[in-house]
Every structure is written in C-alpha cells, then in structure tokens.
Amino acid sequence: MIQPITLHELVQRHGSWLESGVDEGPVISSRVRLARNLEDYHFPGWASEEQKHAIWKQTYELFSEMDDAFMCWKMESLPDTDRELLFERHLISQELANKEAENGVFVSPDEMMAIMINEEDHIRIQTLKPGLQLKQAWEAASRIDDQLEQQLLYAYHARLGFLTSCPSNVGTGLRASVMLHLPGLVLLEEMDPVVNGISKIGLAVRGMWGEGSEAVGNMFQVSNQITLGKGEEQIVNHLEQIVLELVEHEQNARQRLLHENPIMVKDHIARSFGLLAHAKLMASGEALNLLSTLRLGLDLGMVSGFSRQEMDQLYISTQPAHLQKIQQSELAPNDRDFVRAEMLRNFMKRATLKVEQE
C-alpha cells in the first residue's frame, strides 16, 4: 500500500540505516542496487511519454496492492529542494532528481528500501543497511525483486541475463557498494595507492554521493564494476572481502597515526571540535570535513557526549535541502551557512573533548 507522507514529516525522522549501528569503526552502510527493465518497452531514454506513463502506472498499482507500506514521490510534483532532499538522503539518484515526468520513487517507511521508476532503467531497486551487511542488503533486494517479477515481465536474455539501458549493468544488474569512513588513510596520504589497487581488481571508489561526487569528509563508496559473468553471491562476497581488508588498512593507519604522531591527531580533532563548537558560518563541504574528524575522535575515544548514529545523521541533516526543509524556508547559501553553523553549535553543546586536559 501507499502511505502518504510529506517530506516535512520525513526530515523529522532518520533513515533506519543510520539509526541502528551494527559495526563500530570505518563502515557506515551497505547498499545493493538491482537494475531491471520491462520486456515490452523501450529503455526510459528512448521510451515515449506514453510508455513511461504505462510503466509508472503499472508499478504504482503493484505497490498499492502490496501488504507492506511504501511512501511514494513522483518527481514532476516536487520542487527542486524536495528532489534534492531525497537525493541527500540517498533515496534517489541525481539523475532521477533531474528528470521531468513519469518517474518517481517508492520508499519503505524505514527508508532501507527505495525503488526508482524510469531512471536510467525502468526499475532500480536499492536497499540500504547500516554497517557491513551486504548479504542482508542483497537478500532484501532479492525479495522485492521476486515480488515484482511475479507481476512484471522482465527483459531477460538467456545467455546475457538481465538487459539494462547501459551495457555496464547487463547480467546481474547488480551494484553492491559499501560506504566507508577512512580518515586514517587520508591523513597518512595512503588513499591514492588504495584507490589504484582497488581499481585493478574490478572495483570502483567514489565519493559520498556516488558517481561523480567528490570524496568529502573522508567518506568513500566502494562498489563492484563488473556485473556480467559472475553470480550475485560471488560479487557480494568479493566486495565484502575487500571491504574487510580496507577496514583493517584503516584501523592500522589509525594505530600508526596514534603511535607515530599522537599530538598531530589530537590537534586535528581538537581544532575540528573548536571550529564546530564556535563558528558562526559553515559551508556544507567544510562541515562534512570537520564532522569526519569529529567522528574519528569519537572512534578513538577522544570525543564523547553523543552516539555515532546521532553524529552520522548530521552528515545528512546539514545538507542544503535538509537545512531548508527544517527551517521551512528557501535560504540563500550564506543564510544556509549561518543556520548550519547554528545547528552544529547546538549539537556540540553536549560534546566533550576528552583530550582537553592532556
């Protein structure tokens, strides 16, 4: 069924993928995306408005009839800020946010599942889980995929597998990715070799908001590149194995930093603490970078007073569209920087810098 909910209500809550911390350490979340298309229609890039409308209608009816509740937004009905808000929450892609008609998204109430309609492919199922839970994310995506497949005729080729708009997704249509916080490797300037190494084994490293986004706040998304010639389980297992290695690298880097130059690490954390607690203006990029250092401080036991989940939510809630939704008004960039700084100062009131007295 479709559950009506305003975006204003949505920003009052936090996606469950941030609420229930599973892992401590560098892993933020795990995500799986499945690309699917319908047999009797052109891919969205070539389909007529009528065809896209038919697909939207079919899927809307399908979700309406499901036992589980889904929220639903059609892009054409949303102002820019609202689309940006869904993007900031990782519920839709930038590509969908830019589309004009007959496309939208169905989202589960816990926000751990989002199905985009008429993005690059007719259907893109994505599931998101806190911590390193790639298998669980894959299973959840697979379940909804099975449900949809019972009602829809997927474009499927016996030899190639699932057919997709972009050849790079043909086969499993699967992209699995993990968001990692790697400040230790960045501080030691070891991310470049890591990125190179990962590229060579068929994985990609991207920024916090996926393809084309910069790695602000030391946040990196690692994902599979190859979707063909490998089973889903194999893809997921391979990624998980590499992520575990990356986690070990990062933990090593942090230990080395603490061993070789503890004062530099403390200074780094203390400065971020001081700026977050006092600044009157704060751009979103700077906020992400300072929050990254604060998170490192929390992981290292140098900062206390709040949970990892509360702090991770700030990565989302300090973004431009969220800020404006919370303020219930359109804000010029300078005004956003003011409101963002205020939000961060309020958050920092409960924070304690444990290295203060050393």
Q: Which residues bind its own copies (CB under 8 A)?
A: 263-264, 266-267, 270-271, 273-275, 277-281, 334, 338, 341, 345, 353, 355-356
Q: Closest separation between CB of residue 251 and its own copies, Å?
A: 23
76 touches 40 (CB < 8 A)? no
**Nearest distance in Å: CB 83, its own copies:** 29
The amino acid that residue 112 corresponds to is: M
Closest separation between CB of residue 267 and its own copies, Å? 4
Least spacing, CB of residue 294 vs its own copies, in Å: 12
Tell me how far apart the alpha carbons of residues 254 and 262 are, in angstroms, rounded to a whole number.
10
Of 121 and 286, CB closest to its own copies = 286
Instruction: Give the nearest distance from C-beta 81 to its own copies in angstroms.
Output: 23
Interacting residues of 154 by C-beta distance below 8 A, sequence separation 6+: 36, 37, 38, 39, 162
Q: Whose Cβ is closer to its own copies: residue 141's or residue 355's? A: 355
Identify which of residues 189 and 358 has a Cβ nearer to its own copies in the complex.
Answer: 358
The residue length of the chain stands at 358
Angle of CA points 306, 307, 308, to nearest 5°: 130
Q: Which 3 state secondary structure label does DSSP give 241?
A: helix
Please say which residue, 229 or 274, places its beta carbon nearer to its own copies: 274
Gap between the Cα atoms of 3 and 191, Å rounded: 43
Q: Are 46 and 188 in contact (CB under 8 A)?
A: no
CA distance linking residue 199 with residue 220, whole number of Å? 13
Of 273, 271, 263, the closest CA to residue 345 belongs to 273
61 versus 267: smaller Cβ distance to its own copies: 267
Which of residues 22 and 351 has its CB atom nearest to its own copies in the complex?
351
